[in-house]
Amino acid sequence: MSDLFAPKVPEDIERKRPLADRLRPKHLAEVTGQPHLTGPDGVLTRMIASGSLGSMIFWGPPGTGKTTVARLLSGEAGLAFEQISAIFSGVADLKKVFEAARARRMNGRQTLLFVDEIHRFNRAQQDSFLPVMEDGTIILVGATTENPSFELNAALLSRARVLTFRPHDAESLAELVARAEEAEGKKLPLDEAARQTLLMMADGDGRAILTLSEEVWRAAREGEMLDPQSLLNIVQRRAPIYDKGQDGHYNLISALHKAVRGSDPDAALYYLARMFDAGEDPLFLGRRLVRMASEDIGLADPQALVIANAAKDAYDFLGSPEGELALAEACVYLATAPKSNGVYTAYKAAMRAAKENGSLLPPKHILNAPTKLMKTEGYGDGYRYDHDQPDAFSGQDYFPTEMGRQKFYNPPDRGFEREINKRLQWWDKLRKERGG
């Protein structure tokens, strides 16, 4: 509802409102940090110009303007604005909102319903939006910090367009600081290095940069100019945006794994440090390093698995903070080791063959024959004990007869697997010579 006729707020009370609230944009074009949405050629700008809005899901981290943009959209499109939070609302609240929207619609006015944290609604509650979206009672704008693909019903997603809000970059954060300084009529008492530190501390969150700026103005003494260390002492530090059960967790572990696979120890250490700093369980990271050793290095360096497992055990033994260094050592070792997924791909191929070929009996010549009946059936007939053969190699076929010989493991010619390759080629040669 418009506050056009609301009583004017006294200036001293207005000044006490949080800076982030006072500096909210009044028009869509004033929104910073989302040019792909609100810029001259942005998606939302084009929607407003066309005079047609559809239901949308705003997906992005905190402090990127999702709520603000929803309010501005309703104003510029001439829609009634309703806002609820999925944390505090239930079915009864939704029914009231839908009834009010139906009443407005009968009077020729449509409603934009903004639902904050929409992913917190359960499946049944999400389904309740479908009828009122389909008949035009509401235009739904849901906001979520979680991946909509995992958190929202497919039916809801099929009726709404997902728009991604990006974290603020350094340029848009600096623009927000400049707006704050203009509104306050004074500069932040920060030297250039401290100013850059402030931007990094905001972690892409526009609301955070304004809140941090307020803290600096409150804490700085008259005439004081803060350097980075003084700034950190004043505002302490903001916890990194990281949810150990959601996207932040999966994004960083994926980045760590790919940096190790890509033989970049510096990037790998950076993501490992990010996860330590955010409070990730170091034993989880230890287990992931063990997995990387098996999946991406394998027998190119057989020591990789030994070292990764030893690092995990070292952390388990030492605890924090000493144990983290062992994990960092393993991380660097894995990143700098020769890479091979030869065993990994061979294992997947063998699993596929096992599922596709059923319960085939191994060839009888390699089966033990502990009973007379089994000997009569031919179990063990023709088996050649490898240690008694030239080069300790018989060259016999060990696959089920119905399958024939298969080739799963193809080691690359690098690292220790270069030596393994030589052995396999030698055995292949002998096998052909001996008719195995």
- In tens, the pLDDT along 220-233 reads 888 899 998 888 88
214 vs 238, higher pLDDT: 214
Question: Angle 314-315-320 (CA atoms, 0-180°, nearest 5)?
Answer: 140
Name the token pair of 47: 């929607």
Cα separation, 123 vs 133, in Å, equals 16
Which part of the chain is CATH 1.10.8? Answer: 170-235
Query: What band does 241 get if pLDDT is binned at 50, 70 and 90?
Result: low
Cα separation, 128 vs 94, in Å, equals 8
Name the amino acid, one letter, at 298: G
pTM for the whole structure: 0.64
- Identify how many contiguous H helices and E strands the chain contains and give both numbers: 22, 5
Whether residue 119 is predicted with pLDDT greater than 80 in this model: the reply is: yes
pLDDT in tens, 273-315: 988 888 888 999 999 999 999 999 999 999 999 999 999 999 9
Query: What band does 99 get if pLDDT is binned at 50, 70 and 90?
Result: very high
Give the per-residue pLDDT at 180.
94
Give the per-residue pLDDT at 419.
94
Q: What top-level class would CATH report for the domain 355-433? A: mainly alpha
Give the per-residue pLDDT at 1.
41
Give the per-residue pLDDT at 401.
87
Name the token pair of 384: 């050649």
Element (H, E) at 139: strand 138-144
Residue 213: other Cβ atoms inside 10 A: 23
Average pLDDT estimate for 19-31: 91
Residue 186: other Cβ atoms inside 10 A: 10
Spatial strand order in the sheet of 161-164: 80-85, 111-116, 138-144, 56-59, 161-164
Give the per-residue pLDDT at 151.
87
Query: What band does 77 get if pLDDT is binned at 50, 70 and 90?
Result: very high
Whether residue 75 is predicted with pLDDT greater than 60 in this model: the reply is: yes
Which part of the chain is CATH 3.40.50.300? Answer: 11-164
Q: Are strands 138-144 and 111-116 parallel, antiparallel or unpaired?
A: parallel
Q: Are strands 138-144 and 80-85 parallel, antiparallel or unpaired?
A: unpaired
Percent of the chain past pLDDT 70, that is, above it, reads 93
Name 316's Cβ contacts closer than 8 Å, sequence gap at least 6. Answer: 283, 286, 323
Give the per-residue pLDDT at 228.
87
Percent of the chain past pLDDT 90, that is, above it, reads 63
Architecture of the domain spanning 247-336:
Up-down Bundle (1.20)
- Chain position carrying tokens 């089994």: 374
Cα separation, 77 vs 117, in Å, equals 23
Cα separation, 228 vs 234, in Å, equals 10
SS (H, E, C) 300-337: HCCHHHHHHHHHHHHHHHHCCCCHHHHHHHHHHHHHHC
Give the per-residue pLDDT at 5.
46
Based on the number of CB atoms within 10 Å of its own CB, is 298 exposed (0-12), middle (13-18) or buried (19 or more)?
A: buried
State which CATH number among 3.40.50.2020, 3.40.50.12640, 3.40.50.300, 3.20.20.100 fits the domain covering 11-164: 3.40.50.300
Whether residue 60 is predicted with pLDDT greater than 50 in this model: the reply is: yes
CATH of domain 170-235: 1.10.8
Average pLDDT estimate for 367-384: 87
Query: What band does 13 get if pLDDT is binned at 50, 70 and 90?
Result: low
Query: What band does 255 get if pLDDT is binned at 50, 70 and 90?
Result: very high
Which part of the chain is CATH 1.20.272.10? Answer: 247-336
Mean pLDDT lowest for which of 36-40, 230-234, 407-411?
230-234
Whether 377 and 387 have beta carbons less than 8 Å apart is answered as: no
Name the token pair of 314: 């070292």
Q: State how far the alpha carbon of 277 is from the alpha carbons of 73, 137, 252, 301, 321, in Å.
A: 38, 46, 12, 30, 11
- Average pLDDT taken over every residue of the chain: 89
